[in-house]
Structure 1
Amino acid sequence: MKILIVDEIGFIRQSLNQKLGLHHFETVSAENGEEALLTLKTDFSIDAVLTSLFLPTMNAIDLYKSAAKIERFNDEGMIPPLNFYLMVTKEHGTSSPKMKQLTREALALGFKDLLVKPIDTELLVKKLKSSTTMESKELCSDHPVEAASQADNTSENEQRSRPVNSNNRFDQLKEVQNSLYALKKEMCDSIDTLLEEVSRNSSQ
């Protein structure tokens, strides 16, 4: 597994390079967002990105959004999306309301997890290996997913062939809106719980 470490402080990059190397991870590093983005555009063997929230030239959220636009391919076809991990200090990521909002935004956007500096290497390695295991399971279940997708398409085609009642359609839209609201609230609650847990653990 190959990891891109993005931090403007050389000591942090060097320390993480050494510690992850002891666990047989391959690493590359960048000191700012633009350098990291260039690396991601040219090196498709990278599997995950550890990035600080604040970087020279662009922050971690902008880096994530830009990286998501990169089409990654190898000889076997399209490569799965990168896993992004957000590195913050306790003061920046879990205490200040403004910084907490940025952290919440990053996690809601799709960052895999939150890591508080100084990084607990054993915990980081556990998270990286866990994400690799989950991706392997998802690849093994590709065929069931395709079958379910086909079934959904069949059901959707049947529904399209039926006459649409405007009242039913309004009720359906209202139900979807309520479901989305509930999902958004659940996601925000989960992120707040994660931030509180990280804050407690980092203070111990």
Structure 2
Amino acid sequence: MKILIVDDAPFIRNQIKNILEPLNFEIYEAENGKEAIEVYKKINPDLVTMDISMPEIDGIKALKEIINFDPKAKVIMVTALGHKSRVLEAIECGASYYIVKPFDSNKVIQTIMKVLNK
């Protein structure tokens, strides 16, 4: 299974990657919403983790583009604690779920497995 990790902070992408590597996913990365859309269209991942706040195209705009391209896309939004209204907006736009920074490894894995129906 392919997972696309989208975040402008390399250390956050690495954190998520380190949580997921033992599960043997094929992991791809993008550092902003624009790149996320391009990579999504190229690899058609099974799941995307998408930061909400990023330069160029933010996570919500990228989410909308991805859902428009693939209505069945599974996208989990990644957010800091104080962004509840942005998370609700993302869910309304088609996000499958969300995870909050700082990460709890077990919660990240549970959320991803739930969204993937595993």
TM-score, normalised to structure 2's length? Answer: 0.89
Count of aligned pairs between the two proteins: 118
Deviations 1:40-83 (A, max 9, x none): 11112x11110111111111110011112325xxxxxxxx7111
Q: Name stretches of at least 5 consecutive residues in structure 2 with no aligned partner.
A: none
1:88 to 68, 79, 89: 79
Alignment of 1:14-53 (within 5 A): 14-44=14-44, 46-53=45-52
- Is the Cα contact below 8 Å between 2:5 and 2:13 reproduced in 1? yes
- Computing the radius of gyration over CA atoms, which structure comes out larger, 1 or 2? 1
Return the alpha-carbon distance in structure 2 between the equivalents of residues 118 and 26 of structure 1: 23
Q: CA deviation at 1:38?
A: 0.6
Residue 133 (structure 1) shift: 2.5
Misfit runs of 4+, over 4 Å: none
Correspondence list, 1:5-154, <5 A: 5-44=5-44, 46-70=45-69, 81-91=72-82, 93=83, 100-133=84-117
8 Å Cα contact 1:17-1:28 kept in structure 2: no
Equivalent residue, structure 2, for 1:151: none
- Computed over aligned residues only, the root mean square deviation of the Cα atoms, in angstroms, reads 1.7
The alpha carbon displacement at 1:131 in A equals: 2.4
Letter in structure 2 aligned against 1:108: E
Between Structure 1 and Structure 2, which shows a larger proportion of helix residues? 1
Cα distance in 1 for partners of 2:117, 2:47 equals 14
